[in-house]
């Protein structure tokens, strides 16, 4: 089931919106990556083996093309806050959940940018429940290559909220290798083992 959402303000012209391309054709049943065959992509096959079949069900809407890359560099590396509105405009539906949990910024990134990049995107679309805390790392995910990302150690811990039960949807901007989202789910499951946890990213 999907929750249809619409951002009230408009920050992007129709010509610019056309540069963001929605997924089409065959997609991975695990993470929504565009692939040439039915089933799972190579990343999800590895996660399936690591987690003994307990794959994270990630939904995403857009291709990670040059336009998306350029926007994310300006938004995350240079802290261009106005782009959170552009990214929010791209989201027209979200999987239904009892709790929408943003993947948080680390303290150093929060101090550097002055805002949480994921919360800024989603906060006007759905009510957010902050259940995760992220520790600082020596190197940001965006500065790592694929191998370094996959070897990243756990940086998340979950906040214990006795009232939380049911379906949790993790919210992030981009799914790259899946390492961040699987770590986030791992942390939540330690505290909320009976919750069903899936994820949503704007792009994959």
- Domain with 59, as residue range(s), is 2-203
Percent of the chain with pLDDT over 70: 97
**DSSP-assigned letter for residue 128:** B
pLDDT per residue over 31-43, tens digit each? 999 999 999 999 9
Query: Model pTM?
Result: 0.92
> In total, how many domains does the chain have?
1
Instruction: Report the half-sphere exposure of 155 (CA within 13 A, side-chain side).
Output: 21
Average pLDDT over residues 189-196: 96
Q: Find, among 192, 2, 200, the residue nearest to 93 by Cα.
A: 2
Distance, in Å, from the CA atom of 65 to the CA atom of 81, rounded to the nearest integer, reads 21
Instruction: Report the half-sphere exposure of 151 (CA within 13 A, side-chain side).
Output: 6
| Neighbouring residues of 49: CB distance < 8 A, sequence distance ≥ 6 | none
pLDDT per residue over 58-84, tens digit each? 999 999 999 999 999 999 999 999 999
| Length reported for the chain | 204
């Amino acid at each position: 089931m999907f929750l249809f959402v619409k951002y009230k303000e408009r920050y992007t012209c129709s010509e610019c919106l056309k540069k963001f391309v929605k997924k089409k054709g065959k997609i991975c049943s695990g993470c929504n990556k565009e692939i040439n065959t039915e089933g799972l992509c190579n990343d999800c096959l590895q996660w399936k083996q690591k987690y003994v079949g307990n794959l994270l069900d990630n939904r995403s809407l857009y291709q990670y093309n040059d336009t998306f890359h350029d926007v994310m560099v300006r938004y995350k590396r240079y802290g261009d806050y106005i782009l959170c509105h552009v990214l929010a405009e791209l989201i027209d539906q979200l999987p239904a959940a009892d709790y929408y949990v943003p993947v948080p910024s680390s303290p150093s990134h929060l101090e550097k940018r002055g805002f949480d990049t994921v919360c800024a995107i989603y906060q006007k679309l759905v009510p957010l429940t902050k259940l995760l805390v992220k520790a600082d790392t020596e190197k940001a995910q965006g500065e790592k290559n694929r191998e370094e990302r996959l070897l990243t150690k756990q940086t998340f811990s979950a906040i214990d909220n006795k009232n939380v039960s049911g379906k949790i949807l993790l919210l992030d901007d981009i799914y790259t290798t899946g390492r961040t989202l699987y770590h986030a789910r791992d942390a939540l499951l330690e505290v909320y083992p009976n919750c069903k946890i899936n994820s949503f990213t704007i792009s994959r």
